[in-house]
Amino acid sequence: MDYKERWEQLIHTLTERFSQGEELDVSGVLFLIGVQEKGDINQKFKKDQKIDLLHIALCRVLEPYGFYKYEGIDEEGWPHYSLVEKLPDLKSGEQSILIKQAILQYFEESGYFD
């Protein structure tokens, strides 16, 4: 299965499971990853916390690429990452592909595609 097919399969499955009819986009998938990494799936998040969840997810999926390093969890249970290497200057399409590939790798590592 190639990258595009795996991405479409992931989006289809996550949309069916977590969305109320509207297809998830990259931000929606990152939000789900952020909630998973935070570990508090039943919490209602405020707007600023939702932005933090997206940041956590982005750091987590880009960590294997060497851009971020996991630092630990703070007293409120929020994961923290530090920037190791600045992301390269990419065109919008290239950035989207990198993020999608990183998301797919995250789900592969969790055994999702097994």
pLDDT at 10: 94
- pTM for the structure as a whole: 0.91
Confidence of residue 21 (pLDDT cuts 50, 70, 90): confident
The stretch 90-110 carries a mean pLDDT of: 93
pLDDT at 41: 76
The stretch 47-70 carries a mean pLDDT of: 96
Cα(114)–Cα(99) distance, integer angstroms: 21
pLDDT at 19: 86
Cα(60)–Cα(58) distance, integer angstroms: 5
